[in-house]
Homo-oligomer: A and B are copies of this chain.
């Protein structure tokens, strides 16, 4: 970790920029989160970066739905929806409940809906 920071400082001299405010760069480093958390957070936002999948998540804010409901709503194949749901599950954005042959999906917690409302609030300005 410390070696990586050193490496970055050296590269700073090589990349042609010489106007660096060392204090601000240092503070940004102190406040920065670890690479693993950063990676996971980026993938979480990445899940919301597709219109189809975003519509899927927004639909679930109204309550649980099964895979075929979502496929009908989105106008895509159940297979595509299942792939997308697997990504959402992998990042713990949704959870599922089995009832017979069907699986009902819902949002994992309130944070997910919060992200949508905050994002929408930013649009309206």
Contacts and interface: CB of A to CB of B under 8 A. Distances in A.
Given A12-B72, A21-B66, A111-B121, A45 B41 contact: no
B59 A119 contact: no
- Classify the interface of chain A: helix, strand, loop or mixed: helix
Interface residues of A, number: 73
A28 B111 contact: no
A51 B65 contact: no
B102 A111 contact: no
A6 B28 CA distance: 51
A48 B42 contact: yes
A7 B12 CA distance: 54
Contacts of A112: 122
Interface string A80-116: 0000000000001100000001100000010110111
Contact of A118 (B31, B33, B54, B118): B118
Nearest to A14: B77
A38 B62 contact: no
